[in-house]
Amino acid sequence: DITFKLWNLNPDFLVELGCNKLEGYLIDRPEKLEELKVCQNQEIFIAAAPTLVEQGEELARNNQVEDAVEKFNKANKWNPELKINPKGKANSISLVREGIELAQKGEVKAAVEKFKQAQQIDKNIDLNPETKKLDNNPETVANEIKKN
- pLDDT tens-digit series, residues 17-43: 999 999 999 999 999 999 999 999 999
With cut-offs at 50, 70 and 90, classify the pLDDT of residue 2: confident
Q: How far is CA 148 from CA 53, 95, 103, 109, 143, in A?
A: 29, 20, 10, 17, 9
How far apart, in whole angstroms, are the C-alpha atoms of residue 91 and residue 61? 9
Taking CB atoms within 8 Å and a gap of at least 24, the contacts of 38-46 are 45/78, 45/79, 46/78, 46/79
> How confident is the model over 73-79, as a mean pLDDT?
98
Taking phi over 0 as left and psi of -120 to 50 as alpha, with beta for the rest, 92 belongs to: alpha
* Average pLDDT value for the chain: 94
- For the cut 90, the answer to whether the pLDDT of residue 70 exceeds it is yes
pLDDT at 51: 98
Per-residue pLDDT tens over the stretch 93-138: 999 999 999 999 999 999 999 999 999 999 999 999 888 899 999 9
- For the cut 90, the answer to whether the pLDDT of residue 62 exceeds it is yes
Is the pTM here over 0.75, yes or no?
yes
pLDDT at 89: 96
The CB-side HSE value for 55 (13 A sphere, CA atoms) comes to: 19
75 or 11: which leads in pLDDT: 75
- For the cut 90, the answer to whether the pLDDT of residue 48 exceeds it is yes
pLDDT at 6: 72
pLDDT at 14: 87
